[in-house]
Amino acid sequence: EAQVTQNPRYLITVTGKKLTVTCSQNMNHEYMSWYRQDPGLGLRQIYYSMNVEVTDKGDVPEGYKVSRKEKRNFPLILESPSPNQTSLYFCASSLYPPFSSGANVLTFGAGSRLTVL
């Protein structure tokens, strides 16, 4: 089944304890992206990757890191989490970036709900 898999789905952690949210897709997609969803703010992009070893900042990158060493994986790293990073996180992928020609529909993971105390 074609899908984007995120882990963990739920996580409660404490301020300053490094954590990684993994994201893997099995569709050979070039483009991958991380979003956070907060009430009243919709989805905001954290980082995105056009291809292996190519990543760039989205709208809210502060406090996050990413890497794209393999095409299928795009982990989100919180080096020193803070309470304002409590949110619902989504990883998404598409064959090509949304802003390239044609219809590039994003496939979303199930989401990871993170609470930072």
Partner 1 sequence: ELKVEQNPLFLSMQEGKNYTIYCNYSTTSDRLYWYRQDPGKSLESLFVLLSNGAVKQEGRLMASLDTKARLSTLHITAAVHDLSATYFCAVDADKLIFGTGTRLQVFP
Q: Which residues bind partner 1 (CB under 8 A)?
A: 35, 40-45, 90, 92, 98-99, 102-103, 105-111
Decide whether 40 or 69 has the Cβ nearer to partner 1.
Answer: 40
Decide whether 69 or 105 has the Cβ nearer to partner 1.
Answer: 105
The secondary structure of 18-55, three-state, reads: CEEEEEEECCCCCEEEEEEEECCCEEEEEEEEEECCEE
Residues 6+ apart with CB under 8 A from 105: 94
Decide whether 39 or 69 has the Cβ nearer to partner 1.
Answer: 39
* Spatial CA neighbour of 23 closest among 66, 80, 83: 66
* Spatial CA neighbour of 71 closest among 34, 42, 30: 30
Least distance to partner 1, CB of residue 91, Å: 10
Decide whether 44 or 71 has the Cβ nearer to partner 1.
Answer: 44
Total residues belonging to the chain: 117
Least distance to partner 1, CB of residue 98, Å: 4
